[in-house]
Structure 1
Amino acid sequence: MARETGNIKLKAARQHAGYASQQALVDALARAGLDLGITDAEVSLRQVRRWESPTPPWPHATHQRLLEHTLGLPMDQLGFTPPWGAPTERASSPVRAAQGAAMPLPLPSPGNGTQPASIALDYANVTRSHRRLYWRVQPPTIRAAVAEHARLGLQLLSEMSGAPQQTLASALAESLLLVGRIDFFDLRQPDDAESRFVEALQAAGAADSQLLGSAILAHSAFVPGWAGEREGAAERLRAARVYARRAEGVPAQFTAWLHAVEAECETRCGKHREALKAIGRGEEALGEGADAALPEWFDWFSPVRLAAFKGNTQLKAGHLPQARETLLQALAQLSDEARKQRTVVLGDLAAVEAAEGNPEAACARAIEALDQLAVTWYAAGMERLRDLRRSMDQWSDLDCVMELDNRLYEWRTTVNALQR
């Protein structure tokens, strides 16, 4: 397969923002012009093609404003270099101000090859270790380590060339994806996660890894999906499927995960029938027989995780007996390593009990989840428990609910929640 060329930073940012085609970006820039009151800076399809070429020209000032407004990134992270030299940090940029402490990761052009090829393998080995540590180490601690590892990877990338640079870029993309996952699922910081996913997609482009690019785009769909923005989530999932089709030998389990992501987003947007259909397609994908080997980095999904997705969807759709059965089966099959997923499943089981008018059973499941959260914090799990408690106000005077409140608002849990 030919390696993708051109301004991969701009292309990645465009696709991540939900503009699958260059014409879609042209239309979005036209709308941005109306929003910003810019009437004298029309952008043509030909212009966008030039911007995505291997040698993109430096855009005019008004075009820069439109691009930054539409894509949410500064010019250097969109693949442009000013004619007066290398890009510099612009503290006055509204995009940079909005990003706050976001880690700038402008990807380099082909490096100078000063580092030996073994460096890429050494870097990938550390990435592999972080992947395993994620499931046990507290989120802020592992995030700090992985983020610094990503900074190192960016520096090394500029000192590599050829196949070793591609290997290192793939490991860098995985590290950035992991930071984004921690930001979104563990710490519930979607804006930071959004920036990391863009950077991860740029690194995956440098590695020419279509399947990893698909995984990054699918993760990015959670951001609008959890915010109830159905069209934005659908556009990113559409792009993720395009990338997956371009990959060679896509595992059925990966395809099933894409359906599970769709189901989660549809559920969050209140489209329960569509979500259940997506779950059904995921189950069909898993039952198709012969399968390609899973990539080593694809460690966040399995058939039991699909069952957990299904149970949550059944719960939200009001299919309570089916949800209880599905979730109990998923809980029984979760491995000891799946501590974070266990809190989510326990929270959903508690919600089933509450919805069926069993506050004592709901509280018992919720306290099980809190016991697990005391070992490994997971913001997505705590979010389930907060939703549960809001649904139980009618039973606030019961002893079991007051005990649940005591656990929800004990010192350690409260400080964790405020910090996140």
Structure 2
Amino acid sequence: MVGIGGNRLAQLRQSAGYTQQAFVKAFRHEALRLGTDASLSVRQLRRWECETPPPLPHPSQQTVLEAMFGVPLYEMGFDVPDHRLSVSAPIGDPEGVNRRTFVADAGVLAATALVSSRPGPRIGVGDLGLLRERLDGLYQTDHSEGSVPAMTKARRIENEITGALSAASYTSRVGRELQTMLAELHGHRAWYGYDGGRIAEGRAACMEALAAAQLVDSPLLQVSVLETLVLLAIRAERAWEAASAVENAYRLAQRAGAGHTVHLVIALRAANVATHVGDLSGARRALSRAVSHQGRVDADTKVPNWAQFVGPFEVDYATADMYVRAEQPKRAVPFLRAAVTCIGGDLLRNSASYRVKLAGVPLEAGEAEEACAEMATALQVCGGISSPRLLDKIRKFQRAVAVIDTAVARECGDRIRETV
């Protein structure tokens, strides 16, 4: 019989960054991957970690434990009968073909399989908290100052995360969270590409974000990327890609058991696609779904950061967009006014964008004075916001009003030039 000491298993688990509950969950996943009929409860894990000697695992449990830790069972602190011993031997060794094998020295595996041995700084849970705070702060920067300063901050954070993943020491749990943050950053860059009119860059960032989100197995993170991809695909005149992104977002949201807020975002993107291609019946259906979800968002217990911008004002804005596409601008105006009135004060960029849209609609309807009055109000809230998409909307209005030969129109054009 071979033994190594009482709490070795607990030490290995803690070094890997698992709580007892998390380890039991990881054990189940590993058993599924191995196709092994093995189970483990928290109660049994506690017995293994507390009793001396710990009860011997069943052979199927031994298979999973050795796969998870990369060391033989006896090095986890169990008394193992000779016939259950696992040894390190080449796979091609004819003397050892019936024995479980390990590809390296067990002692080395115990150190390296759980914690990175890179020479860089060690990244712990506290460091993750600081990075998470800065990452979440990008939303506020984008909403209040625009995508240009947000992109500058995002690049700094991305460099720190990629540097940590490449050179720092961390547990597998910390590494997974770092990769999740990197996927989120790619998603941010995709949005900045859309807002900045760099559509090809945005789509490339979407592909990176989707791949990274798949690697960390986060369906909701994939949904967040797909909703941005819809907007990018529309701008790239790839309606089929936008429609496919919507369908995949619905599928992933259902798989993740997402709440009404996430489904509201997807419904709005479905309305964007239908409006773009002129499918007004499809747009109305999508907006009806959006209204239904909006009425039930209070039932959501948790809403992802990327979905917290949405609200009834987005539904009104999308409805106005549908009427503009249907060449009924006067019917769009009440919905735009409602959107401007209801949008939160912390969403400054969107608020300014809505007001510029509200100014443009009466201009299309031939109501130049009303349009110029709305633009004057919009310009008052645009100061300090660095958003190429918002700037493009203002310049589009500027070009349209320049052909109108009235004192009000000329004064509005002068005010836009001064502000921009």
TM-score, structure 1 normalization: 0.66
- Pick one of 327, 344, 358 that aligns with 1:349: 358
User: Secondary structure of 1:134's partner?
Assistant: helix
Trace 1:142-221 onto structure 2 (pairs within 5 A): 142-158=150-166, 159=168, 160-185=170-195, 187-221=196-230
Tell me if the contact between 1:353 and 1:359 (Cα under 8 Å) persists in the aligned partners: yes
Trace 1:65-214 onto structure 2 (pairs within 5 A): 112=116, 115-118=122-125, 119-158=127-166, 159=168, 160-185=170-195, 187-214=196-223
1:364-412 superposed Cα distances (whole Å, 9 cap, x missing partner): 112322332233133333333344445556x5211122223223334x6
Relative to structure 1, is the Cα distance of residues 116 and 357 closer, same or farther in structure 2, using a 3 angstrom cutoff? Answer: closer
Residue 231 of structure 1 and its aligned partner are, at CA, apart by 0.9
Match in the other structure for 1:405: 413
1:116-152 superposed Cα distances (whole Å, 9 cap, x missing partner): 4323333212212233222223532221121121122
Tell me if the contact between 2:356 and 2:393 (Cα under 8 Å) persists in the aligned partners: yes
Match in the other structure for 2:244: 235
Relative to structure 1, is the Cα distance of residues 359 and 113 closer, same or farther in structure 2, using a 3 angstrom cutoff? Answer: farther
Paired with 2:172 and 2:136, the residues of 1 have a C-alpha distance of: 22
Please, which moves more after superposition, 156-165 or 189-198? 156-165
- Where do 4+ consecutive residues of structure 1 move more than 6 Å? none
Tell me if the contact between 1:354 and 1:362 (Cα under 8 Å) persists in the aligned partners: yes
Paired with 1:110 and 1:398, the residues of 2 have a C-alpha distance of: 73
Paired with 1:338 and 1:318, the residues of 2 have a C-alpha distance of: 28
User: Secondary structure of 1:373's partner?
Assistant: coil
Residue 286 of structure 1 and its aligned partner are, at CA, apart by 2.0
Tell me if the contact between 2:330 and 2:365 (Cα under 8 Å) persists in the aligned partners: no
Tell me if the contact between 1:228 and 1:268 (Cα under 8 Å) persists in the aligned partners: no
1:68-121 superposed Cα distances (whole Å, 9 cap, x missing partner): xxxxxxxxxxxxxxxxxxxxxxxxxxxxxxxxxxxxxxxxx9982653432333
User: Secondary structure of 1:341's partner?
Assistant: helix
Residue 323 of structure 1 and its aligned partner are, at CA, apart by 1.6
Tell me if the contact between 2:312 and 2:339 (Cα under 8 Å) persists in the aligned partners: no
- Pick one of 284, 288, 294 that aligns with 2:292: 284
Paired with 1:188 and 1:133, the residues of 2 have a C-alpha distance of: 19
Match in the other structure for 2:3: none
Relative to structure 1, is the Cα distance of residues 293 and 120 closer, same or farther in structure 2, using a 3 angstrom cutoff? Answer: same
Report % sequence identity: 18
Size of the aligned set, in residue pairs, is 306
Paired with 2:239 and 2:138, the residues of 1 have a C-alpha distance of: 32
Paired with 1:276 and 1:372, the residues of 2 have a C-alpha distance of: 31
**Structure 2: gaps spanning 5 or more residues:** 1-24, 34-112
- Structure with larger Rg: 2
Match in the other structure for 1:312: 321
Residue 350 of structure 1 and its aligned partner are, at CA, apart by 1.5
Residue 292 of structure 1 and its aligned partner are, at CA, apart by 4.1
Paired with 1:149 and 1:370, the residues of 2 have a C-alpha distance of: 32
Paired with 1:205 and 1:111, the residues of 2 have a C-alpha distance of: 23
Relative to structure 1, is the Cα distance of residues 385 and 126 closer, same or farther in structure 2, using a 3 angstrom cutoff? Answer: closer
**Structure 1: gaps spanning 5 or more residues:** 7-108, 414-420
User: Secondary structure of 2:377's partner?
Assistant: helix
Asked if 1:339 is matched to 2:348, the reply is yes
Residue 361 of structure 1 and its aligned partner are, at CA, apart by 0.7
Tell me if the contact between 2:149 and 2:386 (Cα under 8 Å) persists in the aligned partners: no
1:170-198 superposed Cα distances (whole Å, 9 cap, x missing partner): 2222222222212211x221122122222
Trace 1:243-322 onto structure 2 (pairs within 5 A): 243-248=252-257, 250-288=258-296, 290-322=299-331
